[in-house]
A and B are shown apart, each in its own frame.
Chain A
Amino acid sequence: MTEDLLVKIKENVIQGRKTKDDMGIDESLSGTPGVLELTESAISDSVSPDSIIIEALTPGMEIVGEKYSKKEYFIPDMLASADAVGAAMDVLKPLLEKSNVETKGKFVIATVKGDIHDIGKNIVAILLKGAGYQVIDIGTDASEDKIVDVIRQENPEYLGLSALLTTTMKEMDTIIKALKENKLRDKVKVLIGGAAVSDEYAREIGADAFCADGFEAIKVLEKCQAA
């Protein structure tokens, strides 16, 4: 029964079905419970959160990643799967905390002051959540004061900053300086992204990395974890 549930969760991750109302890649699972309902059932059946993550959610996402690499899947498929995993992680979070299981880390993400473009930022947030990170999304037009407050309060391992406009990218520099002034810079790794910025700009302002997209962000984080 447990094994059956875990197989179903994995299948639904691959299909990108969060709930029973969602469509998948094909119609084979139409109307059946999605990742969220199946995860709740698994918890009711006392399946351990570790098993759900290690035997269903993670391998499911790995297959999705492989399919994306082979161009069988596109970004919307990847996001649907990541969103489903993110929803399952929300349900599992209290149990993980109770059992002292460590998550991959806390990631604060924001679009900087003066910029309201958030498509890229949202996509990165969904992908990171699906990859097992706890994501705190501050939203758009976030000032350095607001970001410093959240960093102080949440004590995250990572901060992601996004800017689309050449006129707002300089805010990233301001934020990094504010982190330094508040003695927070050494406590958080800063990743930047968005159409306006580059690897060169990341070095210039003293950010830890530039990420072209969400997939690169995951790779950078994996490297940080391994280090």
Chain B
Amino acid sequence: MPREGILIEKPLERLSCEQVQQIHDASIEILNNLGLLCFNKNAAKIYQGSGAAVSKVSGSNIPCWHIKIPEKLVTAALDSAPCTVTLGARNPDNALVMRGDEPRVYFITGSETNTWLDVDFPTYVSKADPKKEIKIPEFKPRRGTVADLCDSAHVCEHLETVDGYIRTVNIQDKDINEDNKDVNKYFACLNNTTKHVMSGLTNLKQLDDVVKMAEIIAGGRDNLKNNPLISFITCLVKSPLQFVDDTTETFMEVCKRGLPIVVSSSPQAGTSAPIKEAGILAQINAEVLAGITLGQLVNKGTPVLYGTVPVRARMDTLGDSYGSVETSQYNIDCAQMARFYSLPNYSTSGVCDVKIPGQQSSIERLFSDILVTLSGPQFLHCAFGLLDCNSVFCLLQAVLDNAHFKMIKFFLKSPGINEQELETVKKQIRDVVATPQKMFINYIRPVMRTGEISPPYPFEGEGDSDSVFALANGHLQELLAKPVEHIDRATTAKIYREIPGLLPRLNVYKGG
């Protein structure tokens, strides 16, 4: 049985049917009349061979082609791209089944950050009253390592609301290089979580080793096809409207292997896309449709996710502003567009602009987490633990996010109102009104331990003190101390024999 996720019975939609059609038409017109620049020769060839209008751009320092994609190619791609994409898992009970026509949301971590944020609780003494001491969290950034990635996967394995895992931290150890990063990154994740693992590739040369590793864990090529416990994410389109050479090549190679892949575009409204909602939507939709079309031309039936990470620019720096209200609006709109195409949507929420956990972080992430969840994207990359846009990862924040998502999931339960229930409660009301104390307390107990009542906020302090960080950190330490189910000894040995470049220190069965 796959994971349940949370079904959004009435998804939040901002666009009317007419507006959805208008965005689609505008995107088709962009693809057909304006076209895209393509910096990848093989992709240009594939498009040319399929009936797109392809011409070499003259005067460019880098080889570049101009591609105009006719509507029929897009339509055919939308027909052949599977409506249902299954993301498998080392533990098959953690598989995710995503149907493009069903707004069932799965919460997934990510993205890759360079900075890891440690937390400490130093004691401060009051100048006015030296007897008065308080502990204040202090956050210390440093470069992420493979050990951090293991810890992150380990903790996310135990966070109930995390349905799948995208690597959260860029591994920057001295013995990690371009030639061994991908295998170590995937192994660190797969060995510490039994949930689905998604990542981008650093070096295409490692793709086959990564796939082979997954085949060994899954028990063979066919088993991996049926239970694709890994998937990939590629940003093949750079906004506005440009196929990037290396990621496009990676994308096509993954498609050839038939493994699930996210076609992701991340335009920034104001700089790499129009600032107006209509503009960024028409453009991001065109970019994703172009990628999906290429994927289906490379390998018809490749399972793809309609990946959208639109963001508004900050007006003070022109950097990303994931915390802006518009960013949530764009993501909600994109979920609706993906549903229009019956394709599972990879969407984004929970990324905040602030650099450390705190009030701003909670406000920004909870705002988008609630709203974007309500729009019903199937794959919600909801930035567990992410701060400072996509730059910083903090495990403590991930633990706090888990508590947020428990609340959101509880809120989204179906209302249990029916004739039988109403008869029961009418009797309760009659009975209680007849008693001298007129209290319903006796009726709480039958539902108190069944999960029908939302639990209290888990990090509530005693009295007037705000102990959220300290309590969450206590819980984090408990999770780190809990064991995880590693890949078994024999399989690990086989992986180490057959996959080059793996760091010996990641082998939990040292000495054989």
Show the binding face of A for B, using Cβ within 8 Å: 16, 22-23, 25, 74-77, 79-80, 118-119, 122-123, 126
Decide: A79 and B441 in contact? CB cutoff 8 A.
yes
Chain B contacts for A126, CB-based, 8 A: 437
A16-B445, A77-B448, A80-B441 given; name 12 further pairs at CB < 8 Å.
Answer: A23-B445, A23-B446, A25-B445, A74-B448, A75-B441, A76-B442, A76-B444, A76-B445, A77-B445, A80-B442, A80-B445, A122-B437
Interface of A is mostly: helix
Chain A residues near B445 (CB-CB < 8 A): 16, 23, 25, 76-77, 80
CB distance from B231 to the nearest CB of A (A): 41
A22 / chain B contacts, CB cutoff of 8 Å = 442
Of chain A, the residue at the smallest CB distance from B443 is A76
Give the number of A-B contacts (CB < 8 Å).
Answer: 25
State A16–B446 Cα separation when bound (angstroms).
12
Q: How far is the CA of A177 from the CA of B204 in the complex (A)?
A: 87
Q: Does B439 contact A (CB under 8 A)?
A: yes
Which B432-459 residues have C-beta < 8 A from chain A?
Answer: 437, 439, 441-442, 444-446, 448-449
Alpha-carbon gap, A22 to B446, bound state (A): 10
Chain A residue, CB-CB nearest to B437 = A122
9 contacts between A and B (CB under 8 A): A16-B445, A25-B445, A76-B441, A76-B445, A77-B445, A79-B441, A119-B439, A122-B439, A123-B441
Q: Which residues of B414-471 have CB atoms within 8 Å of chain A's CB atoms?
A: 437, 439, 441-442, 444-446, 448-449
Question: Please, which residues of chain A bring their CB within 8 A of the CB of B437?
Answer: 118, 122, 126
Cβ of B442: which chain A residues have Cβ within 8 Å of it?
22, 76, 80
Q: Which residues in A have their C-beta under 8 angstroms from that of B439? A: 119, 122
CB distance from A19 to the nearest CB of B (A): 11
Bound CA–CA A22/B444 (angstroms): 12
Contact with A along B134-150 (1 / 0, CB 8 A): 00000000000000000
State the Cβ distance, B377 to closest chain A Cβ, in Å: 36
| A127 to B: closest C-beta gap in Å | 12
For residue A123, which residues in chain B have a CB less than 8 angstroms away from its CB? Answer: 441
A16: chain B residues within 8 A (beta carbon):
445
A210 to chain B, nearest CB (A): 16
Residues of A within 8 A of B441 (CB): 75-76, 79-80, 123
With A and B bound together, what is the CA distance between A74 and B445 in angstroms? 9
- Please, how many angstroms separate the alpha-carbon atoms of A122 and B446 in the complex? 21
For residue A77, which residues in chain B have a CB less than 8 angstroms away from its CB? 445, 448
Which residue of chain A is the closest to B449 with respect to CB atoms? A25
Bound together, the chains give a CA A77 to CA B446 distance in angstroms of 10
- The answer for the CA separation of A16 and B448 in the assembled complex, in Å, is 14
Closest chain B residue, CB of each to CB of A126: B437
- Chain A residues near B444: list those with CB within 8 A: 76
Q: Which residues of B contact A122 (CB under 8 A)?
A: 437, 439
Q: How far is the CA of A77 from the CA of B441 in the complex (A)?
A: 9
Tell me, in angstroms, the Cα distance from A160 to B44 when the chains sit together.
Answer: 85
* A43–B444 CA distance with the chains assembled, in angstroms: 31
Q: How far does the Cβ of B110 sit from chain A's closest Cβ, in whole Å?
A: 34
- Complex Cα–Cα for A190 and B478 (A): 46
Task: Give A76 to B437 CA distance when docked, in angstroms.
Answer: 14
B435 to chain A, nearest CB (A): 10
Chain B residues whose CB sits within 8 angstroms of the CB of A119 once the complex forms:
439
Query: Nearest chain B CB to A90's CB is how many angstroms away?
Result: 14
Chain B residue contacts of A118, Cβ below 8 A: 437
Q: Which residues of B contact A80 (CB under 8 A)?
A: 441-442, 445
Q: A34–B178 Cα gap in the complex (Å)?
A: 71
CB of A130, distance to nearest CB on chain B (Å): 13
A74 partner residues in chain B, CB cutoff 8 A: 448
| A53–chain B nearest beta-carbon distance, Å | 24
> What are the 10 tightest A-B residue pairs by CB atom distance, in nearest-first order?
A76-B444, A122-B437, A76-B445, A76-B441, A79-B441, A23-B446, A122-B439, A80-B445, A76-B448, A23-B445
Chain A nearest CB, measured from B344 CB (Å): 41
Residue on B nearest A26 in the bound complex, by CB? B449
The CA-CA distance from A118 to B441 in the complex, in Å, is: 13
CB distance from B467 to the nearest CB of A (A): 15
Task: List residues of B (383-442) whose CB comes within 8 Å of A's CBs.
Answer: 437, 439, 441-442
CA distance A80 to B445 in the complex (A): 9
B244-270 CB contact bits vs A (8 Å, 1 = yes)? 000000000000000000000000000
B185 shortest CB reach to chain A, Å: 40
A7 to chain B, nearest CB (A): 23
Closest to B453 in A: A74
What chain B residues lie within 8 Å of A75 (beta carbons)?
Answer: 441
Nearest chain-B residue to A74 (Cβ)? B448
**A76 nearest CB neighbor, chain B only:** B444
What are the residues of chain A within 8 A of B448 when measuring CB–CB?
74, 76-77
* Bound complex: CA A75 to CA B442 (Å): 11
**Considering the chains assembled together, what is the distance between the CA atoms of A123 and B448 in angstroms?**
18
CB distance from B223 to the nearest CB of A (A): 42
Q: Which residue of B lies closest to A119 (CB)?
A: B439
Interface centre among A23, A76, A122, by most B CB within 10 Å? Answer: A76
With CB as the reference atom, state the residue of chain B lying closest to A121. B437
Q: State in angstroms the CA–CA spacing of A33 and B197 once bound together.
A: 54
In the bound assembly, the distance between CA atoms of A118 and B448 in angstroms comes to 23
